[in-house]
Chains A and B, each alone.
Chain A
């Protein structure tokens, strides 16, 4: 029996398995069995979609124009919110830490604190959350609308793999653009810290930037020249970029139920990718702290 649900069968994913023998199981266990299978199947579909979309990056035909268009959509058009988020996060970070550091007479270390926080954690996570909200929802809504208006089926009937045409360019664009946005976010955040350090705390800019660099240098290097903080700061957004785009495409392509379904797909995308960003951030941090030698 073919199992309906996300409607992924047309996109190369087989949702078929033998009909369960319902005569032996009590109703409760049957429901539990079905629910468990459905969850496992969802997970399988997610990873198959991820695998295919990444594999198609290296397979012809290459939709270069679509990739560039998506880089503009995901990267350039997200610049505004990322700049604002980064600037104010850096500023509030400096402001809050100045209050605490003043107690110990250590306000000269504001630069260390802002740079470590921005580069290692806040920059990647905030850029990820902003992009999940703005771009993830957009991708899910666009693909969801295409799904309910049969444009995805039209692509299929025109002999095009929708994953190759729609998912891969978005995933590739997100993998490239999220680290770029994060670098900008980090830099603007550190500048925000500088503004507060100068205006509120009265710390000279030269001293602030020296402590920023001290922090980066003290955290160690990989291959002698690449700071450990940069490795953390770039690895995370790279993973988040893939996570957001694949999650958005997954929910978008699986949209059912007309315009209401599009709304649900959008909501699920933002909620799921936000949660995944925060959870996976912890595990990446844990992994990188154990792999990279700090101090």
Chain B
């Protein structure tokens, strides 16, 4: 299982017809699946459908804003990446996220999912292989150059990682004050806009300190801070962990909304396979330090592989 070559990532194509479900986006290929696979997929989808009822349909289905040509390299790409500390952590990881796609990294605890995110952020440097952002190799950048590349990315941490000495407003305004020449009025406008995007009332929460917020609110403020600078790439580390099912649904919908409306490329690390399937254009399954599957959720549920079937058992 561990040595199984990764499934070739399907090229995100233009949808032949508008998706039947409002919760799915372009790139869905389920209508092409064989009947048996389709049945499995349908049962999986049925299991999550109840949670999806509250999802808003895309405002412009399959038409998220795009800024790059069709031949552009993937926005995020890992090529044969390996990393070891005292023991090997990741081996020969290859994956790619094209513009507007959401790639979800799933796998058991301790398989190196969060480490993969740190490699994309260049908080860690791989021992072998390359990490490319927008086609540019970031592996050999200096620390200062890496700081600049990170400005293209927004990161939402597992515990939100809000600066607890700053108010909600100051947290979201931080990247704007740090890296833009925006006036204070413009910053205030942007902060309000982002808070509204994550369904928080600006007047109610702006002056609150992170310690006064609930877990779900902290996550939402974390997302607002991550997207404050309108980054091209959003990275999420366990965005739904430790949240109740309702809040999990809210956060999942938010991530989908971000992808749908702003065309942001996302890489999500998640334990929550149900949420993962809702938001994923592609799923990467990490098992024994390698990617044992990389493909669409439909291809994953259709897989006969025993480990994948066991992994999806809880669905």
Contact = CB atoms under 8 A, between A and B. Distances in A.
Say whether A and B bind each other. Answer: yes
Interface residues of A, number: 22
Contact of B125 (A9, A149, A150): A9
Interface stretch (A155-163, A215-223, A263-271, A279-287): A155-163
Given A3-B85, A4-B85, A158-B178, A151 B161 contact: yes
Interface in A43-91: 61
A151 B164 contact: yes
Interface string B67-88: 0000000000000000111100
B29 interface: no
A209 to B, nearest CB: 45
Contacts of B83: 2
Interface stretch (B102-110, B149-157, B192-200, B248-256): B149-157
B85 A2 contact: yes
Contact of B123 (A3, A149, A153, A161): A153
B147 to A, nearest CB: 5
A12 B143 contact: yes
A40 interface: no
B155 A4 contact: no
B219 to A, nearest CB: 13
B150 A156 contact: yes
B161 A10 contact: no
Given A9-B125, A159-B150, A154 B163 contact: yes
B123 A158 contact: no
Contacts of A32: none
A199 interface: no
Contacts of A161: 143-144, 147
A2 B159 CA distance: 26
A117 B144 CA distance: 47
Interface string A123-167: 000000000000000000000001001110110111111000000
Which of A11, A16, A154 neighbours the largest number of chain B CB atoms within 10 Å of its CB? A154
B121 A159 contact: no
A153 B163 CA distance: 11
Contacts of A291: none
Contact of B121 (A16, A149, A156): A156
A159 B127 contact: no
Contacts of A11: 143
B306 interface: no
Contacts of A16: 125
A289 to B, nearest CB: 42
Contacts of B8: none
B127 A157 contact: no
B158 interface: yes
Nearest to B86: A4
A1 interface: yes
Interface in A3-46: 3-4, 9-12, 16
Contact of A158 (B124, B143, B150, B164): B150
A160 B157 contact: no
A159 B163 contact: no
A150 B85 contact: no
Interface string B161-186: 11110000000001100110000000
Interface of A: 1-4, 9-12, 16, 61, 146, 149-151, 153-154, 156-161
Given A9-B123, A150-B161, 10 more contacts: A1-B84, A2-B85, A10-B124, A149-B164, A154-B157, A156-B121, A156-B150, A159-B179, A161-B144, A161-B147
User: Which 4 residue pairs spanning A and B have beta carbons closest together?
Assistant: A12-B143, A154-B161, A150-B161, A157-B155
